[in-house]
Amino acid sequence: MTTIEHIQKPSPAAVWWNRVGKIIASHLVLTLIAFTTLAPFVWMVLASFKPLEEVEQINPLPSVWHPENYAKVFEQIPFARYYFNSVFIAAWVTFLQCLTSAMAAYAFARLQWKGRDAVFRLYLATLMIPGVVTMIPNYTLMVWLRLLDSYIGLIVPAAFSAFGTFLLRQFMLTIPPSLDEAAKIDGATHWQIFWDIIMPLSRAGLITLAIFTFMGNYGSFFWPLILIKSEHLRTLPIGMLYFDTNYGRQTNLIMAASVMNIIPLVILFVVSQRFLVRGIQLGAVKG
């Protein structure tokens, strides 16, 4: 004779408390992660208002607030000029990289030609080459072209991106090919299809690439360091080296300059956050 064991189901109250406990635990973990992430930025802001002798003290709050640290940054270095150079170079690199990546992505995603996939794989393989490896060849090329110590020398080498091509190609693959066929029947050229159909439909991908490109080039350090000699062409990361000399490090002024340095990036991220998340999600739909 078999016996059937009756399993008692948990009460609705127990289920509700279990669900609430999981929600609270997940929020606590996320809060801890957020605090850990924000702690360096909070310290940077507070250190920018401290005198130099208090920067490395355990007390996070300054005993006396010194907002004049921000004015001292402008007094000791041409901060506005460095700021303009960083934004100018990053904006041009972003524009050119989005344009060249979109054109290359269109060729790899929408055009049919012999060896297309093999060339794309070869182009994509360049992502595995560290930037340090190509630094000397790029510098030699800039010397040969006489582009040292110039805006063009800072902009042109960064105007092409295998990652940008890959990202936009993923977006263009999600666009139905029937749109191209309908446009060709109406007599549209490849340029008209690219500019009037594909580009508007790839807007989310372009915005995502523009954000990544601007943020990456705005804080570029190593390439401007070896290419630029003139003071009026220095970018912000290079200009802030003035506060770190053999005579001592002015950490409070470095923090004040850093706060002003990241403000454009914070604004850019807050304004374009929804486009960034949507762009990343759409880019992963089809490979």
**For residue 280, what pLDDT is reported?**
58
pLDDT of residue 279: 58
- Tell me the DSSP string of 101-165: HHHHHHHHHT---TTHHHHHHHHHHGGGS-HHHHHHHHHHHHHHTT-TTSHHHHHGGGS--HHHH
pTM value is 0.82
Q: Which amino acid is at 179?
A: L
CATH code of the domain made up of 74-283: 1.10.3720.10
Distance separating alpha carbons of residues 132 and 66, to the nearest angstrom? 40
177: helix, strand or coil = coil
Given this model, what pLDDT does residue 257 score? 92
Torsional sign, CA 131, 134, 139, 142: negative
Please report, for the chain, the start and end positions of each structural domain, with discontinuous segments joined by +. 12-47, 74-283
> Any idea what the Cα angle at residue 221 is, between residues 220 and 222, rounded to 5°?
115
**Which residue's structure tokens are 């109250």?**
13
pLDDT at residue 143, rounded to an integer: 92
- The Cα 263–Cα 163 span in angstroms is 26
**pLDDT given at position 151:** 94
pLDDT score at 119: 92
Residue linked to tokens 């190509």: 134
Predicted local confidence at residue 86, as pLDDT = 93
What is residue 1's predicted lDDT score, i.e. its pLDDT? 45
**Running along the chain, 287 residues long, what does each successive block of 10 average in pLDDT?**
55 74 86 88 89 80 87 91 94 95 92 90 89 88 92 92 90 87 86 89 87 89 90 90 76 90 84 67 50
Are residues 76 and 256 in contact, defined by beta-carbon separation less than 8 angstroms?
Answer: no
First to last CA, the chain: 58
Question: Sign (positive/negative) of CA torsion 7, 8, 13, 18?
Answer: negative
